[in-house]
Amino acid sequence: MELDIVARAPRSVALRLAVPGSLYHLPRRLGWRLTGAGLGRQGETDRAVTAFHDLAPGTRVTIEIEGFAPLTVETLPCAGAAVLTDADRAQAALDALPPGGSLIVPAGRWQVAPLLIPSGRHLYLAPGAELAAPADRADWPILPADQGGTWEGLPDACHRALLTAIDASHITISGPGRIDGGGSRGDWWTWPKETRNGARRARLLHLIGCTNVTVLGPTVANSPSWTIHPWRCRDLTFAAVTVENPPDSPNTDGLNPESCQRVRIDGVRFTTGDDCIAIKAGKRSDGGDGGHLAPTRDIRIRHCRMERGHGGVVIGSEMSGDITDVEVSQCEMIDTDRGLRIKTRRGRGGTVARIAMRDCSLDGVDTVLAINAHYHCDHDGHSAAVQSRSPQPVGPLTPRIDAVTLERIEARRIRLAFAACLGLPEAPVTGLALRDITAGFQPGPAAPPLMADGIVAVSGAGLLAEHCQILSAPDLPRGPLTAKDFAPC
C-alpha cells in the first residue's frame, strides 16, 4: 500500500493510511519510523490520518509505516522564523515576518489579543504551547459587515475572531499545541443570538476570502461561537485537528465552510455544543435579497470522528447560494443527534444536490439521515408560509434537494428512526438512494425526528418519508412523518 500526503507545513506533515476498514481509527496500531537529516524517531499510531511535527523546514523526510511502501516527503520551506517571547507583541511579530516566514509559539500559555494573519505566514504551535484569548472582550475589534462580518448567512458586524485572515493566501497553522478561544472565560455564551457593542459573537478562527490555507494538527477549543468559519474561501485543508467545546456551549459548531470551494477535511475529531460540521451557502434576507450569496461545492470529508453534537455533517439551513458535490466517507459518528442532516425552508431558494455519505459507522444517534424542507428557523419559522403542507407556487425562492446517497452504512443503537425525509409538496426531494445499509435499534423515548411543525413522535422507526422520491432503499419498516390530524398553522 502507498501512503497519501494529506497536508504539509514547514514543520509538520499529515499522511493518510488507507488501510481497509479504517475510519477515524485504524483497525490496529501500526509502527512508524522517521529518518532524515537529524531524525531518528519511531513510534506507533492508531489514526488513519497521522500527523508528524517538529520537523525541519524545507527538508526531505522518509516515513516508514508498517505495511506501506516508504514515502519521502519534503516539508514546506521557511523564509525566516521568529519565536514568540512577548504575548503583547504577537501581532507585531507576525507583521515583521517576511512572506513565507514562521512565528513559533513555544511551550507555555500565551494570552494574546485577537490576531490578524497576513498572507504567506506560518503559525506553529509547539508541543505544550497554548495560544489563548483574553476573558475581557472590551478591547476586541469589530469586523464590519462590509469587511466580511457575517452572522447565520447574512452580512452582519461581528467581533473579530482570536485568529482572523482576510483576503490572504498561502497560510499554515500547524503543530500539536492548543488554541483556546476563551468562550467560557467571558460572557460570550450568555447572549447566543444577541449583539453586544453592535456586534455578534466572535469565532475562534475566521477565514474571509482566503485561498490555500492549511490547518494541520492543533487542538482548537472553547470557542465563543462557531469554532472554524471559512467564508468565500477556496482550496482549504484541515487535517488531524481536534475541536473541543463543552456540550452546553451554544452554537459552538466545529467547522462551518460557507460559500467555499474545494475544502478537504481529513482526520478531524469533533466534540461540540452544536453541529460538528455545518456546510452553508448563505441565506436570503426577509425581502429575498441575495446579492451576498455564493455557492459551496466540492467538499470532501474523510476519516473524521464526530462525538456528541446536534449533527455529524449538516447541510443548511443557510443554503441559498447552492451546496453541491459533498462527499462524506470513512467517518465515525458517536452519540450525535443526527448523522447526515439536510435542512431548509421556503424562502431560501437554492439547490442542495449530489450529497453522498459512504462507508461510515454510526453509534447511538437519534436519526441517521434527516432531510427537512420545513425547518422552523428564523422569526417566521412556524408560520403557514413555511409550515403549510399544501402546495405553494414554485419560484426562485423555492429550495430544491436532489441526489442524496447513503451506501455501505453501519448504524447501531438508533433511537428514533433510520431516516426521516420531509420534502415540499411543490418541490419534493428527488433522487434519494439508500444502499447496503445495516441498522440496529435501541429505541428510547418517542420524539419527533425532524424540527418541523406537526411531526409525529417516533421511537425505533425505520424509513419515514413524505414528498420524497426514493430510488432505492433497504428493507426497513416505512411510515408517515406527520400526524393525520395535522392542520397548517
Residue 380 known to be catalytic:
no
Domains of the chain, start order = 4-74 (2.60.40.10), 337-489 (no CATH)
Where do the DSSP E strands lie in 303-422?
305-308, 311-316, 323-329, 332-334, 338-343, 351-363, 367-372, 400-414, 417-422
Question: What mean pLDDT comes out for the span 27-46?
Answer: 95
At 473 the pLDDT is 85
Task: Measure the CA–CA gap between 49 and 329, rounded to whole angstroms.
Answer: 13
* Collapsed DSSP state (helix, strand, coil) of residue 476: coil
Give yes or no for a cis peptide into 317 (omega within 30° of 0). Answer: yes
User: Given a cut of 70, is residue 87 above it in pLDDT?
Assistant: yes
At 381 the pLDDT is 95
At 287 the pLDDT is 86
Q: Nearest 5°: CA angle at 255, between 410 and 265?
A: 60
Question: What mean pLDDT comes out for the span 242-266?
Answer: 97
Question: What mean pLDDT comes out for the span 200-213?
Answer: 98
Given 53, 292, 310, 374, which residue is catalytic? 310
At 485 the pLDDT is 42
Could you give the count of Cα atoms lying within 13 Å of 295 in the half-sphere of its Cβ? 14
At 454 the pLDDT is 94
Instruction: List, for residues 441-471, the tens digit of each pLDDT value.
Output: 999 899 999 999 999 999 999 999 999 999 9
Query: In this structure, are residues 169 and 120 in contact, taking their beta carbons and an 8 Å threshold?
Result: yes
Query: In this structure, are residues 419 and 450 in contact, taking their beta carbons and an 8 Å threshold?
Result: no
At 483 the pLDDT is 64
At 487 the pLDDT is 35
Instruction: List, for residues 99-140, the tens digit of each pLDDT value.
Output: 999 999 999 999 999 999 999 999 999 999 999 999 888 879
Instruction: List, for residues 407-426, the tens digit of each pLDDT value.
Output: 999 999 999 999 999 999 99
Instruction: List, for residues 345-386, the tens digit of each pLDDT value.
Output: 999 999 999 999 999 999 999 999 999 999 999 999 999 999
Task: Measure the CA–CA gap between 336 and 362, rounded to whole angstroms.
Answer: 9
At 479 the pLDDT is 86
Given 180, 253, 274, 366, which residue is catalytic? 274
Which pairs from 471-474 meet CB under 8 Å and 24+ separation?
471/431, 471/432, 471/433, 472/433, 472/434, 472/435, 473/432, 473/433, 473/434, 474/418, 474/434, 474/435, 474/437, 474/439
User: Given a cut of 70, is residue 291 above it in pLDDT?
Assistant: yes
At 478 the pLDDT is 87
**Mean of the per-residue pLDDT values for the chain?**
96
Neighbours of 193 (CB within 10 A): 10
At 475 the pLDDT is 84
Residue 274 known to be catalytic:
yes
